[in-house]
Amino acid sequence: MKQRIYLVGAGAIAGYHVEAIARLTESGLEQPTVFVTDVNPSALAAFVERYPWVTPAEQLTSMLEEPAGENDIVIVATPPLTHADITCRAFRAGRHVLCEKPLAMNREEAELMLRTAKETGKMLGCCSSRFAGLQITDEVKAKLGHDELGKLYQAQWIQRRKRSRTGIEYQPTSRWFLNRAVSGGGTLMDWGPYDMAGMTEVFEPVKVEVLHAWMSNPVTGHLLEAEITSDVEQHVGALLNFHLADGSAVPVHYERAACCHGEERSLTEIEGTAGALQWDWLCLDGSGELAEYYDEAGEPAEGRSSITNTPLGMMDKPIVYFLQAVAGQVTHAIVNEQAVFNFSILAAIYESIQTGEKRVVTKERA
């Protein structure tokens, strides 16, 4: 049967998904049949006008009532408040689900989604895979695998931008990003899924402790701030302890800011007793620099290399990887237990902020 993809939501991110699906033919794959629905009739009409090869459905219920094929996929491209309900409905309708990030609103929802996937024999995927599978990440993992840094004793994962708030400077018409009841949170829910995907890909932890965490919402003079009420954080940080499969642990200083008054900074660094690595983990322009720092005859030394990634774009990765996972292929898709584990670290950071206490997340075995 021809691959069928059911898109729930006809907003901005849905457009990226349908364009990625259209590009599948460039890889020699047959063009899937695509359906779309949205609770907003005008948004649905505008979407189909822009992408006339997509078949509209007025309601999610009617779209899912069609008998399911073995490898049908539902892409959930709606605000986080609706993720768990739509995902579980899609599973019960006999379809795999690729869900936008953040996966859910809280740990309970994420666990329900995974439990329903297992009960129905379907696969749960998360779109936090947009920066997964980078060649530069493979280089870092190879060096760690060869113990080139010695005993690891600390890492920093810091991304600070002065003014890049979703719902204000970026995508200003999408005000729901600023409403915690709909979005689940601020920059930790918006960009944190990519951060956790990157960190867990590098370290492959089996358990993560949130030792301390904090968040804030810096005030600026942007005109939109006078018009709207925002109850989400735009600056967040945490001290995490990553427990690895070999029994060792690596403390990680994590920080993410979509708005801050201090300097902008991007630092991804791992330090060990024999050396250190810094690298561009996002590689937004398709390539990144990997820097190595070590000792040479008692003196500091360093080496740098530029690494180019494969042509597969960040917006294409979620559907390409997920199709590979559904087909049983080796892939960088973030699915099932890994998807829930990554999300649960974000949820645990919020829990630690609220209670002031340590939180622990253990990866469930597949």
pLDDT, average across residues 92-98: 98
For 135-310+332-362, CATH number out of 3.40.50.10470, 2.60.40.10, 2.40.30.170, 3.30.360.10 equals 3.30.360.10
Domain ranges of the chain: 4-130, 135-310+332-362
Give me the pLDDT at residue 309, please: 85
User: How confident is the prediction for the chain on average, in pLDDT?
Assistant: 96
Homologous superfamily of the 4-130 domain (CATH)? NAD(P)-binding Rossmann-like Domain (3.40.50.720)
Residue 29 scores a pLDDT above 80: no
Give me the pLDDT at residue 225, please: 85
Taken in order 338, 339, 341, 346, is the CA torsion positive or negative? positive
pLDDT in tens, 107-118: 999 999 999 999
Residue 26 scores a pLDDT above 90: no
Cα 208 to Cα 97, 132, 336, 355: the distances in Å are 26, 20, 18, 17
What is the distance between the alpha carbons of residues 316 and 250, in angstroms, rounded to a whole number?
A: 32
pLDDT in tens, 238-272: 999 999 999 999 999 999 999 999 999 999 999 99
pLDDT in tens, 321-362: 999 999 999 999 999 999 999 999 999 999 999 999 999 999
pLDDT, average across residues 39-62: 97
Going by their DSSP bridges, the two strands 124-126 and 359-362 should be labelled as: unpaired
What is the distance between the alpha carbons of residues 244 and 209, in angstroms, rounded to a whole number?
A: 12
